[in-house]
Amino acid sequence: MSLAQVDPEIAGLIAAEERRQADTVKLIPSENYVSKAVLEATGTVLTNKYSEGYAGKRYYEGQQVIDQVETLAVERAKALFGVNHANVQPYSGSPANLAIYLAFLKPGDTVLGMGLPFGGHLTHGWSVSATGKWFNPVRYSVRQDTGRIDFDEVRSLALEHRPKLIFCGGTAIPRTIDFPAFAEIAREVGAVLAADIAHIAGLVAGGAHPSPVGHADVISTTTHKTLRGPRGAMLMADSDEHATALNKAVFPGLQGGPHNHTTAAIAVALKEASTDAFKAYAHQVVANAKALADELLARGFDLVSGGTDNHLILIDLTSKGVAGKPAAQALDRAGLETNYNSVPYDPRKPFDPSGIRIGTPSVTSRGMGEAEMRQIGAWMDEVVTALAKGDAEDVIARVHSEVSELTAGFPTPGL
C-alpha cells in the first residue's frame, strides 16, 4: 500500500513541505536540494539491511550487495577529495566529530576550538555539548574590529594550554579557512588538527575553496549542505594510523550498523560532485554569495567581516534597529527563509540574537544567478526596514507574492 493509503496525514504533511520548499527562497546556508537520484537512493530497500562492521568484515551475513555499495561510496570520497582513507558510516556531523574525540583523546584532555558565538560548532568544545563537558575546552575567537580569526591568539592559546586536538572550521564563518596556518600551530604543539568542512565540503570538492588535504590530520564533513547529498557524514584521513583510530571510534566505539540507504545516497552525491557541472555550481555559489553581500552592503547592512569568501553571509542587524529573531520570522513570512544567529561579541542571548545567517547553496541549485541575488537583497531590505518602522505586514504580503513569482521560474531539483 502507498504512503497516502497507509498514513494520509503524514503524506499530506510531506506534500505541504514540498510545496513550501518550492514556493520559498531558501537562504539557510546549511540547507540545499538533493537531486532526484539522491532522493531515490535514500528511499530504497537498502534500509532493510543491517550491516555492522566494514566491507569484507561484517558481523551479519547477506552483505554481498551492501559491501559493494559502501566500497563505491568510500572510493568515490577518496577520489573526490584526494585522500587515502574515508569512512562513510557516521550518522551525521556531530557523531562524526565525537568519533574524532574518541579516536585521539581521553576524557579530560584539552581541545582547542572556535567558540560557538564566533562561528564555531557545538561539538568543538562548547559548554552545553558533551565535548565541552567531558573534555577540557579552550576557545579561540575572532577580532572584534575585523571579524576574522586572530592567529596570534590561536597560537598563544595553543602554546599555553597544549591541546591534544585542534578544530578549525565551523558553522558561521564567512571567510576562507586558512588550513596551513592552523597546521603550523598544530605541529608546533604536537596536536591533531581536525578540519570540520561540513559547510564548505561542496566548495572544496568543486575547487571553490582551498582544501584541507595535506594540512589537516583528520577531515570531518556532513554530506548535505554544499555537497548536496543526504543527511549523513564522512571522516577522512591520509595516514593509516589515523584512519584505523577513526574506524574503531565509529564502529564499534560509537554506533552499530550504518544506514545503508544513506550510504547509497552518499555514493550518488559523490558521483554527481565529481562532474564539471558540479564544479561550475560550486563557483556559482560563491559568485552568488558575493553578489548578495554587495547588494546588502550597498543597502546599509552590517556584514560580519565585511563580506564573504564562500557561501555564507552573517548579518548584524543592530544598526537596522531590529533583532535577529523577529527579522528572521518576518522574512520567513515573506517567503525568504533564513535563521537567526548570534554575531561575534553579541550582547543579546543566543535564542534572541542580533543577527541572521544566510547563504546561497539552495538558490544556486535552483539556477538563480547574480541578478536574482540583487533582487533578494532588495526584498530583505524592504522587509527589515518595514519591520523597524513597526508596520511590516503589507510589505511582507507584497514581497511574498513577488517571491512566489520568482520561484515559479526556477524549479526545485528533485521535487
* Residue ranges of the binding site for (6S)-5,6,7,8-tetrahydrofolate: 116, 120-122, 241
Least Cα distance to 323 among 297, 349, 304, 299 occurs for: 349
**Is position 54 annotated as part of the catalytic site?**
no
**Is position 394 annotated as part of the catalytic site?**
no
**Is position 52 annotated as part of the catalytic site?**
yes
What separation, in Å, do the N-terminal and C-terminal C-alpha atoms of the chain show?
22
**Is position 412 annotated as part of the catalytic site?**
no
Answer for the pair 204, 193: CB distance below 8 angstroms, yes or no: no
Q: What is the DSSP string of 380-398?
A: HHHHHHHHHHT--HHHHHH
The residue annotated as part of the active site, out of 23, 52, 150, 178, is 52
Residues of the chain by 3-state class (helix, strand, coil), percent to 5: 50, 15, 35
SS3 per residue for 131-160: HHHHCEEEEECECCCCCCECHHHHHHHHHH
The residue annotated as part of the active site, out of 78, 143, 155, 231, is 231
Q: What is the DSSP string of 89-129?
A: --SSHHHHHHHHHHHH--TT-EEEEE-GGGT--GGGT-TTS
Least Cα distance to 352 among 325, 316, 328, 314 occurs for: 325
User: Beta strands 85-87 and 336-337: pairing type?
Assistant: unpaired
Give the number of other Cβ atoms within 10 Å of residue 210's Cβ: 15
Give the number of other Cβ atoms within 10 Å of residue 2's Cβ: 8
The angle at the Cα of 263, spanning 339 to 237, to the nearest 5 degrees, equals 85
**Is position 231 annotated as part of the catalytic site?**
yes
**Is position 178 annotated as part of the catalytic site?**
no
Binding residues: 116, 120-122, 241
The residue annotated as part of the active site, out of 24, 42, 222, 223, is 222
The residue annotated as part of the active site, out of 26, 123, 131, 196, is 196
Cα distance between residue 218 and residue 77, in whole Å: 14
Half-sphere exposure of 13 (CA within 13 A, CB side): 3
Catalytic residue numbers read 50, 52, 196, 222, 225, 231
